Structure 1
């Protein structure tokens, strides 16, 4: 029988009241001790509590009129009057910058393709609207678009493209095109619909001769990074504004080796991602310094990637200090005074701390005001002064360029990049037996073990097949050595083109065509004097410069790639002819007379070996290394070197060709191996001295810089090419100083002309700058 509505309402209300009473009673019994819980304990148990109003009750008259509900309670619900609608949220707001850039590039190319199709097929109106053309595009249209992309020569801002040489790049364009199509039509191209396009892509790969093999995955191991950091610390072929920048590169290599993190994750690390502590030794030893890293800059989607923490305890009697993350990182932290305890300024003080009884650790907190400081921060000139921008992250391109540069200085073949750390260290932990498959995926941030096999495992196998099949123990060390980065190391590998090679490129057809086009436009402008031709002239001038640089890079890359085989042929010919070229010393660039004293102290401290088995001596060695890092972080190195390095006459003769020719032992003279100050062919010393400046009639060193004790040694003792270079330096730098004062004689000069006369009469430096009238200059100063 059907129940009436009133009775039903009462029945439901009664049931709801009983439930509310039960819930209230339970809540009262559970929270009697809560002083903030207000209730009337004398209230009758059978009193029915009124039903509270829910936010979903939008039809209540009391809510519409702004009046209280049945219980007399008000709800301060927010109004839905701000925010944006779902349609206004960009579809790619959560994508990586690289993904967005590639999608924008494919959209721009599709629009350019539609413009070309309008000219080619004016009878088809769909090409006049690029988005509508993509909605109506057939498989043949997409296939022809991909083939058109392979022929493109100019990209954004009319810049010349590198052209597509890899089949994987073509697949990437197809993937981005499908994403653009799905963005417009809200329809995904499945495997069946795209089968015809993929068949056409295979034809394009064969037609254009695209490379179908993946890039070389050459790993780097700890045997490579130790000497590599030694080269970074000691080389004089690369300079920075501050020594802090040199330490940063070494620390990046160390952390990338031991944490297998990506470049972006390491560069985004801030002080807040660190946790420093002293941990109690389970075996009863002294406290162990611990560094825990939790970088938040890992690759993630909507922040769903789980952050992993890497614990790095200090290993006593461990590897070399040049790759020890504790020595380098503690040096940077102490230099930045990053600890909350301001009196904690050295690692020696850190070792004196102890863990309280009943505790397992002692946290060493960092200054919360410096939590946003980057470990790998940017250093730049601010008003001519090198300044560490602690809150500005170092760019990815800057770190990549440094790795490539130091790799070339080390003599490595090819461009060294940060992903090679993941190739080597990922392979080591995969084969160690101490890491499970699941933990390996967590460390590498992979969703499947297949990712490591497809994209990270080196393609050159280090399996000793012959000895394994013969039942012998494999040569693990040998097979690992022939697959790592340092196998192709050769310090003779040229880094720069010679003057002869540069001169030969001036006759290249591409460069001649670019110059011819520029000459034609200039001749046309001289005849017509049309202002509209000036932008075209500037564009062609830029085209000539870019063409010359592109040809230089191409020839340099070709010489470096062919160096191993060509040099091996010459070495074998020399040995068969009983003519052996003198070998360059292993530490040729390690010249004590060209290094800053603190840099020499840093290298000696980090390259030191344990002198005894005493724990205190090993602590002192590590603490000395960290202190040396702190000292060198503030050293002014003078800034990056400009241009190609200067070469002696013997080197210029030897470098006439990209390959070093075999020479007799008697003809080879390497002055860098001498402990004395090397002397050039012209008889001038390689470094300025007081005796030289006093006795030289035409000095090629600056007396003003030499007498300034505040300048770095490489600036004070710099030797110029000739006296004319000193003149240009003096006119451009020292004549503009305020006040005018001779640092050598400690004499103040009234005006520029007096300084010019003093420099010529006393220091034999002739100035060519036309100075203003001294009387007018003095009146202007007054």
Structure 2
């Protein structure tokens, strides 16, 4: 074999003679592919006849044999113990492992791994008994503790995984069987609840009410209008796919494909949304991605359920289309498909490939803006959904999985969907998870009619078994002024105020259904009309003009013509684009008042004109101080005069010192280091933070 085939070729233009210099294989410099730590002196790798086979193996490859010999010696098998876990699972594993380490070191005074090797039922019993008695966590914080048997069972499953990771073997089957009795005994001892979470479905009608309340309420602030739109888009993408909510939140622009498709039945061209979801539960490796296709319903009776207008609103808001001329929604009406073809893609910008669609808002100098890369967490989205459900008056806590339950049950009941396709959509390996967790425990069938052979009242049963069966606008969503005051005067107020508020609110809501039903029955039997319910919480602020225009566009009636429908769609998308930029007013709830004085009117603000406010923030001497924030007034200049947030932005502070605190906390602390701040009342752009502080003092009398 020629020696050049045995060499490590480092450069395409290296001149090689027919014989190796000094009888050795040269090592060229390109890439420095093998470091001295492995190679050492190159002279060690002379090739003689005995090494011919080894040289042939190395010839033309990247690394010599020594590289792999060394790598095998240094290989750490511990990195590959167990399965591939998601971040949430890793947190649970770490928490249980820390508890086990504490128990072994403090109670047993032994090494945790040694305790695993000598594990027994008595040790496991007293570990969980000790764990159930832990009331205080890190930094003296009160622990939530284990409240249900299912949570105790989950901790046992996680401990088994910790055991396997520590010992490399599975727990003895005999111990595993006995632990079922142990967990049951501990559940009885600590009176743990065996009640499972309700798996009621959120039907399409429930979803419609949820979306309308999300768009219209002012009792829940999203800080930035785009977050309100994203809260709706999340529901509309989750509802048809039935996917895990976390996979929707991890959607990136690169996972979305917008296509203009030809209708094979001869109708007008239809916009398709194709979105690909990565499986988020990665135990034992990642799963295959699935792509869902949603066709637009052009003559949609309600735009509240139109996924396309909300997604297109976000795409146009961020100018996400790769075509530089496609910048307005009305341009979609002008597009056509090339003759002989079925589709025309509308590609998105390649630089948005890995950018999250669902991103949280971050504070800026004068308001909020969408974070460049920080996604909305599952807890944040779940909190929004729960709050809107409370405002709707739903008895049960609304969760994202209500929509997943609904999709699963609808797919199961549909005769054109096989069990295999249902499992594929839900990311289930078989039908067991569906039957155990997703199949509604509220049996949604008119079983007596089926047995009798009579006509089934399926529509009524579907409503009765859904999450929306209990909707009542009279149901309390917040604490009353008196309830809030009672919490504030509680003797344990300092450490448990928030916990007491949550507990009182839950108790009030849980008891309301039956108590109110008794009152209604007595009222009707007396022959009286329904009495007006007392106000249980503060009313929301008036809707702002942009919110009114948004609702007006989305609730617009169906047009009789195709052109009218296109215009309806364009107006709705444009209203969404505009609303995305709105900074929302934070509502004040009775439960958040520290003094218990809930009689303060939400809208009580000092009245003064915007023009007077602008003139008041300019000083005539260096000793003069202002009581108004020139940055907030600058933000008010971009709003309409009848916008209710104007009064809040131009209000006067009690003293220049209060203004200084506000200026530091609200503006300076949120000014990024690479940002050039702008003073809108002076219409000047400032160089940096210190320039802003100097401008604030010399021009506007605001000390910082």
Deviation at 1:711, TM superposition (A): 4.7
Provide the TM-score with structure 2 as the length reference: 0.77
Does residue 632 of structure 1 match 2:614? no
Deviation at 1:68, TM superposition (A): 7.3
Q: 1:198 aligns with which of 154, 157, 180?
A: 180
Deviation at 1:292, TM superposition (A): 0.4
Deviation at 1:90, TM superposition (A): 5.1
Deviation at 1:89, TM superposition (A): 1.6
Does residue 94 of structure 1 match 2:84? yes
Deviations 1:89-141 (A, max 9, x none): 253572112222222222222222224434xxxxxxxx332221221122221
| Conserved 8 A contact 2:610-2:650 | no
Q: 1:715 aligns with which of 620, 645, 670?
A: 645
Q: 1:403 aligns with which of 358, 368, 385?
A: 385
Distance 2:154 2:227 in 1: 36
Q: 2:555 aligns with which of 601, 604, 607?
A: 607
Partner of 1:114: 104
Partner of 1:48: none
Partner of 2:37: none
Deviations 1:55-103 (A, max 9, x none): xxx9984484899769xx9433414268661425253572112222222
Deviation at 1:590, TM superposition (A): 11
Distance 2:680 2:315 in 1: 40
Kindly report which structure 2 residues correspond to 1:686-725, keeping only aligned pairs within 5 A, or say none. 688=607, 708-711=636-639, 713-718=643-648
| Secondary structure at the counterpart of residue 119 of structure 2 | coil
Q: 1:652 to 1:487 in 2, by over 3 A?
A: farther
Partner of 1:454: 436
Kindly report which structure 2 residues correspond to 1:467-546, keeping only aligned pairs within 5 A, or say none. 467-505=449-487, 511=492, 545-546=494-495
Partner of 2:198: 216
| Conserved 8 A contact 1:135-1:184 | no
| Secondary structure at the counterpart of residue 556 of structure 2 | coil
Partner of 2:401: 419
Q: 1:469 to 1:725 in 2, by over 3 A?
A: farther
Distance 2:120 2:637 in 1: 74
Distance 1:232 1:243 in 2: 11
| Secondary structure at the counterpart of residue 717 of structure 1 | helix
| Conserved 8 A contact 1:280-1:355 | yes
| Conserved 8 A contact 1:372-1:391 | no
Partner of 1:355: 337
Partner of 1:312: 294
Deviation at 1:160, TM superposition (A): 1.8
Q: 1:75 aligns with which of 29, 38, 60?
A: 60
Distance 2:529 2:59 in 1: 97
| Secondary structure at the counterpart of residue 373 of structure 2 | strand
Q: 1:180 to 1:733 in 2, by over 3 A?
A: closer
Partner of 1:619: 566
Q: 1:290 to 1:435 in 2, by over 3 A?
A: same
Distance 1:193 1:413 in 2: 42
Partner of 1:378: 360
Q: 1:280 to 1:153 in 2, by over 3 A?
A: same
Distance 1:442 1:65 in 2: 53
Partner of 1:763: none
Distance 2:100 2:528 in 1: 62
Q: 1:185 to 1:68 in 2, by over 3 A?
A: closer
| Conserved 8 A contact 2:103-2:127 | yes
| Conserved 8 A contact 1:234-1:589 | no
| Secondary structure at the counterpart of residue 355 of structure 2 | coil
Kindly report which structure 2 residues correspond to 1:558-573, keeping only aligned pairs within 5 A, or say none. 558-573=507-522
Deviation at 1:623, TM superposition (A): 2.0
| Conserved 8 A contact 1:279-1:289 | yes
Deviations 1:731-772 (A, max 9, x none): 866999999x998xx9xxxxxxxxxxxxxxxxxxxxxxxxx9
- Structure 1, unaligned stretches of length 5 or more? 1-57, 119-126, 512-543, 654-679, 695-700, 747-771
Distance 1:292 1:267 in 2: 16
Partner of 2:31: none
Partner of 1:85: 75
Q: 2:587 aligns with which of 641, 645, 660?
A: 641
Partner of 2:132: 150
Deviations 1:128-187 (A, max 9, x none): 322212211222211222222222212344322223222112211221222222223322
Deviation at 1:257, TM superposition (A): 0.7
Q: 1:149 to 1:87 in 2, by over 3 A?
A: same
Kindly report which structure 2 residues correspond to 1:650-689, keeping only aligned pairs within 5 A, or say none. 688=607
Kindly report which structure 2 residues correspond to 1:201-350, keeping only aligned pairs within 5 A, or say none. 201-301=183-283, 303-350=285-332
Does residue 555 of structure 1 match 2:504? yes
| Conserved 8 A contact 1:338-1:367 | yes
Distance 1:304 1:205 in 2: 35
Report the more deviating stretch, 236-245 or 321-330. Answer: 236-245
Q: 1:90 to 1:643 in 2, by over 3 A?
A: farther
Report the more deviating stretch, 195-204 or 244-253. Answer: 195-204
| Conserved 8 A contact 1:340-1:368 | yes
Distance 1:449 1:105 in 2: 31
Distance 1:163 1:184 in 2: 25
Does residue 391 of structure 1 match 2:376? no
Deviations 1:371-392 (A, max 9, x none): 1221111211133442212322
Q: 1:98 to 1:732 in 2, by over 3 A?
A: closer
Report the more deviating stretch, 147-156 or 473-482. Answer: 147-156
| Conserved 8 A contact 2:359-2:376 | yes
Deviations 1:333-377 (A, max 9, x none): 011111110111233212321111222211111111121221111
- Structure 2, unaligned stretches of length 5 or more? 1-44, 614-626, 669-676, 684-696
| Conserved 8 A contact 2:253-2:348 | yes
Q: 1:445 to 1:383 in 2, by over 3 A?
A: same
Q: 1:63 to 1:203 in 2, by over 3 A?
A: same
Distance 2:143 2:592 in 1: 33
Q: 1:357 to 1:572 in 2, by over 3 A?
A: same
| Conserved 8 A contact 1:290-1:312 | yes
Distance 1:271 1:644 in 2: 40
Q: 1:479 to 1:102 in 2, by over 3 A?
A: same
Bigger Rg over Cα: 1
Q: 1:717 to 1:74 in 2, by over 3 A?
A: closer
Deviations 1:640-693 (A, max 9, x none): 33554899xxx979xxxxxxxxxxxxxxxxxxxxxxxxxx999x9889475999
Q: 1:644 to 1:729 in 2, by over 3 A?
A: farther
Does residue 431 of structure 1 match 2:413? yes
Deviations 1:269-309 (A, max 9, x none): 00100111111211122221111010225323454411111
Q: 1:414 to 1:63 in 2, by over 3 A?
A: farther
| Conserved 8 A contact 1:720-1:726 | no
Kindly report which structure 2 residues correspond to 1:122-201, keeping only aligned pairs within 5 A, or say none. 127-201=109-183
Deviations 1:387-413 (A, max 9, x none): 212322112221111111211122222
Partner of 1:8: none
Distance 2:154 2:75 in 1: 32
Deviation at 1:575, TM superposition (A): 3.0
| Secondary structure at the counterpart of residue 147 of structure 2 | coil
Distance 2:680 2:335 in 1: 52
Deviations 1:247-279 (A, max 9, x none): 000100111111112111001000100111111
